Amino acid sequence: MCVLSQILQVRLLSPLQQLCAITHIDVRQRQLECVLQILQNNAEQLSEGWPLVLGIIGDVTNGQG
């Protein structure tokens, strides 16, 4: 995978990760819907994005605890 794609993955997923600071349930729901769509459409192309995706899922589920 080219470097640009790796940088693009981080730039696209970083705002979703930043939303983890917001605890409103509707924001969390949309955040997870976006992550799901990314995984359904592009999971096989993710490389640098995996830690961000897993961090988002972990943060959201830990916040629900």
pLDDT of 8-27, one tens digit each?
899 989 999 999 999 999 99
Taking the CA atoms of 62, 16, 39 and 37 in sequence, report the sign of the dihedral they define.
positive
Taking the CA atoms of 36, 21, 46 and 6 in sequence, report the sign of the dihedral they define.
positive
Structure-block tokens of residue 22: 């917001």
Does the structure show a pLDDT above 60 at 2? no
Q: How far apart are CA 40 and CA 58, in angstroms?
A: 18
Q: How far apart are CA 13 and CA 44, in angstroms?
A: 15
Q: How far apart are CA 59 and CA 35, in angstroms?
A: 13
Q: What is the pLDDT of residues 39-64, one digit of tens each?
A: 999 888 888 899 999 999 999 888 66
